[in-house]
Every structure is written in structure tokens, then in C-alpha cells.
Amino acid sequence: MSIKAENLVWKVGKKTVLNGVSLEAEPGKMLGLLGPNGCGKTSLLRLLAGLKRPDSGRVMLDQSDIRATSRGALAQRVAFVEQHATTNANLKVIDVVKLGRFPHRSMFSGWTSTDEEAVEVALVRTGMTEKRNDNWQSLSGGEKQRAHIARALAQSPKELILDEPTNHLDIQHQIGLLSLVSDLPITSIIALHDLNHAAMFCHSLLIMKQGKIVATGRPEEVLTEDLLKAVFSIEARVEASRYHDGPCIHYLAGRG
């Protein structure tokens, strides 16, 4: 087991945002989180990352309750990339990525060759090497997102949690990022909007609606025409892809 949630309930005031959510991410695999806007995806990811605490239920890392894990130990292990990651400081890209090494360093430790290698590898993997000395405020939205993903990779996490990380990326970098995350030898949980991308890259999927899980399994098991209509209110045809192992979804325009 890598990361597991048991009967999570989370409320904002009187509104129940998550209601009895349980999941178990397969170690070293990519779990895709899908569902309409407002279904609770971001809230669930924040609970899994330890950024919020549930009203009831628990999140487990291996055999330990995440609440018993210190903030420092958690930061060394779990990296979280927000949907709209921002910073007000006009740092250079290299400085942003170096922040990923902060959890691994003490107050008195110097910059090591291990730190340097982690940062350089992260820059290469995200295609940001040539932007390393650019100022943050000069970057496009997509470049900022890639820099934050590089920061997360520099953290050398065992679990990587990403909230719709492809939103600001062009198609080339969307495919490149998803391919990268899918191939990483770590556990990743990623919220996505593009169902075909989820089918193409995710090892398994979790489908949410109104704060509850309605389906889990491999893409070809859960991305059915009936489910797409029930959860996303769309008419589509689903068939096996000729180019990858997952299904391919063909939307029927104007028939939702």
C-alpha cells in the first residue's frame, strides 16, 4: 500500500463536500481522478496531501495515519501541485525549482550534489532547462505550471498529487507531462478533465459525482457510454483505441 483513504467526510459549514470517500492508490502507478466541476476532486486531493483534515475518516501512508506524520516528514514524501500555482515574488525559475529541496535540508546544511542533481533532472524532465534563469513574472501560464511541476519533482517524492496540471499547457506539453508522470516510478494521483488523456495515460481511474465515488477501475472498465451520460451528461461512443491500451471516446456534438 502507498496511499489510502478510508471513509472520508469533509464539510464546509453545513455542506458536505465529500461523503464517505475511500480509495487505495496502487504503488508506482498513476491514478486518475475524474468528475464534473464541483464534485469534490480538489478537496479530496488536499485531504490526501495532508493540507486539510477530514471531519471523519482517515488518510493512510503505508500503515500510518497521515495525522501522525510530522509536517517535515510529510513534505519529504508527498508533493502537491495546485491547479493555479502562483507566487508573488519575482524569483528566477531555478530558484522556484530549488524550493523543492527545502524539506530535505536542515537549517545548517549546505547545498549538496544530491540537491543539484534533483533540480537538474527536474528541469530536464519538464523541458524548463532553457528557462532556468528567466524571471518568474516573464513566464507564460503554461511555463509557470511546468516550473511548479519541476519544483515538485525536485522534491523527490514517493507520492505525487496533481490538481489538473495540464490546464494551462499547450497540447505538446500536455502529452509530454502526462507521459512523464505515467512513467515515473512513484505513486501519482492526478485530477484531469480530458477523458481521453485519462484513458491513454492512467493505470486506473476513480470517477466522482456530488462528493461520492461512483466508479473505480481500469479505464476500459469504467469509461462506458452509460457512465459518461450519467456522470457528465454527454452522449458519446466508446471503443478500443487502435493506438494505446485504453478506450477512445468519441463525443456526439449537440446530443448531450
Beta bridge partners of 209: 212
Confidence band for 62, pLDDT divided at 50, 70 and 90: confident
pLDDT higher than 90, residue 109: no
Q: Looking at the chain, how many residues does it have?
A: 256
Confidence band for 90, pLDDT divided at 50, 70 and 90: confident
Of the candidates 155, 141, 163, the one whose C-alpha atom is nearest the C-alpha of residue 52 is: 163
Domains defined along the chain, listed by start: 3-86+158-251 (3.40.50.300)
Q: Calculate the CA 113 to chain-centre distance.
A: 28
Average pLDDT for the chain:
92
| Percent share of the chain, pLDDT over 90 | 72
Does residue 199 contact residue 223 with C-beta atoms inside 8 Å? yes
What's the predicted TM-score (pTM) here? 0.91
